[in-house]
Amino acid sequence: MVAAASVVVALGTAAGLLTALGDGDDGDDPRGADRARPKVSATLLSPSTVNPPSPSGSPSAAAPTARPTPSPGRTARKPRAAAVTTSLYRHPESQVLDWVRANPADPRTAVIESRIASRPAAVWFTEYAPDTVTSRVRAVTAGAAAQGRVPVLVAYAIPDRDCGGASEGGAPDLDAYAGWIDAFAAGLGSGEVVVVLEPDSIAQTDCLGDAGRAGRLAALARAGRVLKAADPKARVYYDAGHSGWNDPAEQAALLKRAGAASAASSDGIFSNVSNFHRTADEVAYDRRVLDALGGPPGLGAVIDTSRNGNGAPTGGEWCDPDGRSIGRAPTFRTGQARIDAYLWVKLPGESDGCKGSAGEFSPSYAYELASS
């Protein structure tokens, strides 16, 4: 249940400001036992106008012609080669930055600027716009390359997105999605980039029939292969839901069908996108998923820590719940085996739809998260 925001973003090479990376606060309390589906807002890179994602038709039942590549058996994990670049990129256009620039005298600005706006966050691509997505992706990757930093991109255009919920939209069918992924991949360039591939797309397949599920998983397997073939330095991560959702073995079985166990398409998994589960719980969950997934020893996990500083609320509440806090700052230096990064995939302050319109920046919500 991913609610995407729209924000006008300037195209071309982006300069931006350098961002210091550090660790945020994170507790160790046990997680709640909710199984609520996450709902995500986004910093959307839009061609020229502010528009929500357009509605889509039903996905095609037929899978793309490309099939997942069988993965080798898992052996003892070898250390991942050190990245040439270890700092994440902050794109200079986002809703929170727009608000900070427009409200210098607001008493909340200093806190929001220092604790949220200064952090690198993911850039989402939610529109099915195959004619422009290459240039929009290239604008972000070129801006990051100019600073010697690593951008985080979210590809979010799978057909039947969000099972027709608040974030419905995406490509009209799987063949169209394959073309969109090809165009997306063409903008990656040759540098390091992290791609968060389709939040909820694997954990949330219960609304699809057998043919639709098979088609989606095959489309994701193809997408990973295309992305990594276009840029061998791209790190592609697949949807593992979160620690309060599917059983690790169940999630791993779906991930394997989606190509997440193949080095040709995957660098591992992501979890907790737009959710609130504590980092320690996600680390334990992700390791269990990776163990069940198998595949090459280099597979790892990235965790969305943007709003998990106080953990998940009880009762499965997911829509802008009170009492939440920002979590650990985005970084590749996690100090945790098999955990490749803590990322801010969901930008704190962008509403789930209760403290503002879904996906729109709420300064009061941002201040609450930043000052808790």
Q: Which of 34, 173, 200, 320 is catalytic?
A: 200
Query: Catalytic one among 26, 160, 281, 352?
Result: 352
Coil, strand or helix: which one is 293?
helix
Report which residue type is found at 124: W
8 Å CB contact between 355 and 365: yes
286 touches 273 (CB < 8 A): no
- pLDDT tens-digit readout, 287-299: 999 999 999 999 9
Report the DSSP beta bridge partners of residue 234.
193
Which residues contact residue 260 at a Cβ distance below 8 angstroms, ignoring those fewer than 6 apart?
Answer: 202, 224, 238, 266, 268, 269, 293, 295, 299
At 356, the pLDDT band (50, 70, 90 cuts) reads confident
CA distance 52 to 55: 9
Given a contact cutoff of 8 angstroms between Cβ atoms, the answer to whether 181 and 223 are in contact is yes
In terms of C-beta density within 10 A (0-12 exposed, 13-18 middle, 19 or more buried), how is residue 20 classed?
Answer: exposed
Select from 316, 329, 241 the least CA-distant residue to 286: 241
Query: What string of DSSP letters covers 31-68?
Result: PP---PPP-----BEESSS--PPPP--PPPSSPPS--P
Check pLDDT > 70 for residue 16: no
Question: Hunting for tokens 């949330």 — which residue is that?
Answer: 204
Q: What share of the chain is helix, strand, coil (3-state, %, to 5)?
A: 30, 10, 60
Whether 162 is catalytic: yes
Is there a contact between 324 and 313 (Cβ–Cβ < 8 Å)? yes
Supply φ then ψ for residue 255, to 5 degrees.
Answer: -60, -40
- Residue 72 has a pLDDT of 35
Look up tokens 């924000």; give the residue: 7
352 catalytic per annotation? yes
Residues in the chain: 372
Asked if the model's pLDDT at residue 117 lies above 90, the reply is yes
Give the neighbor-by-neighbor strand order of the sheet with 234-239: 123-125, 152-155, 193-197, 234-239, 268-271, 300-304, 339-343
How far is Cα 59 from Cα 348, in angstroms, rounded to an integer? 31
pLDDT tens readout for residues 174-219: 999 999 999 999 999 999 999 999 999 999 999 999 999 999 999 9
CB 5 within 8 A of CB 121: no
pLDDT of res. 129: 96
First and final C-alpha spacing in the chain: 25
Q: Would residue 34 show up in a list of annotated catalytic residues for this protein?
A: no
Active-site residue (options: 26, 34, 160, 162): 162
Q: What is the pLDDT of residues 79-89, one digit of tens each?
A: 333 334 569 99
Q: How far apart are CA 50 and CA 71, in angstroms?
A: 42
Q: What is the mean pLDDT of residues 251-266?
A: 98
Q: What is the pLDDT of residues 313-345, one digit of tens each?
A: 988 888 999 999 999 999 999 999 999 999 999
pLDDT band (50, 70, 90) for residue 352: confident
